Structure 1
Amino acid sequence: MIVFCGYGNSDLTVNVPVLPGAGDRVQALGIERHDGGMGANAAAAAARMGADARFAGVVGPDALSTAFLDGLGADGVDVAWTSRRGRLTTAVILVTPDGERSIISEDDDVTESHVAEVVRRCTAAGGGWLYLDGYRFPWAAALLDGATGVRTVVDLDGCESAEAARAALSAAEHAIIGASQAEHLLGPDLAAAAVSHRTHLLVTDGARGWRLHTPAGDTRAGAAIDIQVRDATGAGDCFVGSYLAELERGAEPAAAASFAAVAAGLSCTGPGARESQPDRDAVAAYLARGA
Structure 2
Amino acid sequence: MKQSVLIIGSSNTDMVVKTEHFPKPGETVLGGTFLMNPGGKGANQAVAAARLGADVRFVAKTGNDIFGKQALEGFGKEGIDTRFMTESGGMASGIALITVNAQGQNEIVVASGANMDLYPADIPDDVFKDVTLVLFQLEIPAETVHWALTKCAEKQIRAILNPAPAAPLGPGFLSGLYLITPNETETELITGIAIESEESLRKAARHLFEQGVQNVIITLGSKGVYLASDSFTGIIPTPVVEAVDSTAAGDVFNGALLKALADGETLEQACRFACRAAAISVTRMGAQSSAPFQHELDSFFNHD
Fold-level match, TM-score > 0.5? Answer: yes
Aligned to 1:200: 215
Query: Taking structure 1 as reference, are residues 198 and 89 closer, same or farther at Cα in structure 2, changes over 3 Å only?
Result: closer
Give the drift of 1:149: 3.5
Q: 1:279 aligns with which of 293, 296, 304?
A: 293
Residue 62 of structure 1, aligned match among 55, 61, 65: 65
Q: Is the 8 A contact 1:126 1:149 kept in 2?
A: no
Q: Which residue of 1 aligns with 2:77?
A: 74
Is the counterpart of residue 42 in structure 1 residue 45 in structure 2?
Answer: yes
1:212-270 CA-to-partner distances (Å, cap 9, x unmatched) read 112x4952321111111111111110000000010111111111011000101101111
Cα distance in 2 for residues equivalent to 1:67 and 1:192: 43
Alignment of 1:1-291 (within 5 A): 1-85=4-88, 86-110=91-115, 114-115=119-120, 117-118=122-123, 120-123=125-128, 125-135=129-139, 136-137=141-142, 140-146=145-151, 147-161=154-168, 163-164=169-170, 167-188=172-193, 189-196=203-210, 197-214=212-229, 216=230, 219-290=233-304
2 CA distance for matches of 1:242 and 1:25?
38
Q: Which runs of 5+ in 1 are unaligned?
A: none
For residues 29-84 of structure 1, the C-alpha deviation after alignment (integer angstroms, 9 at most, x for no partner) is 13221110100000000001110112211112323321221112212212111112
- Distance in 2, Cα, partners of 1:127 & 1:36: 24
Q: Distance in 1 between matches of 2:117 and 2:228?
A: 30
Given that residues 16 and 28 in structure 1 are in contact (C-alpha distance below 8 angstroms), is that contact kept between their aligned partners in structure 2? yes
Instruction: Output one character per residue of 1:181-227: Cα deviation in whole Å (capped at 9) or x when no partner.
Output: 2123213312212432142111101101100112x495232111111
Q: Distance in 1 between matches of 2:27 and 2:118?
A: 41
Q: Does the 8 Å contact 1:72/1:79 carry over to 2?
A: yes
TM-score norm. by structure 1 comes to 0.90
Q: Deviations over 1:60-110 (max 9, x none)?
A: 232332122111221221211111225311100001122111000022434
Aligned-partner residue type, residue 66 of structure 2: A
Residue-by-residue CA offset, 1:96-147 (whole Å, 9 max, x unaligned): 1221110000224345863454362334x14432221134436632443253
TM-score by length of 2: 0.86
Instruction: State the Cα distance separating 1:168 from its structure 2 match.
Output: 4.2
Aligned-residue CA RMSD in angstroms?
A: 2.2
Farther-moved stretch of structure 1 (199-208 vs 140-149): 140-149
- Which amino acid letter does the alignment assign opposite residue 53 of structure 2? G
Checking the alignment, whether the CA contact within 8 Å between 2:15 and 2:98 is kept in structure 1 is yes
Conservation of the 8 A alpha-carbon contact between 2:93 and 2:112:
no
Report which stretch shifted further, 9-18 or 69-78: 69-78
Question: CA 1:138/1:60 → structure 2, altered by over 3 Å: closer, same or farther?
Answer: closer
Moved more, 2-11 or 144-153: 144-153
Q: 1:198 to 1:289 in 2, by over 3 A?
A: same
Aligned residue pair count: 286
Q: How many Å separate the matches in 2 of 1:128 and 1:111?
A: 26
Q: Which one-letter code corresponds to 2:126 in the other structure?
A: R
SS at match of 1:240: helix
Deviation at 1:16, TM superposition (A): 1.4
Equivalent residue letter for 1:260? A
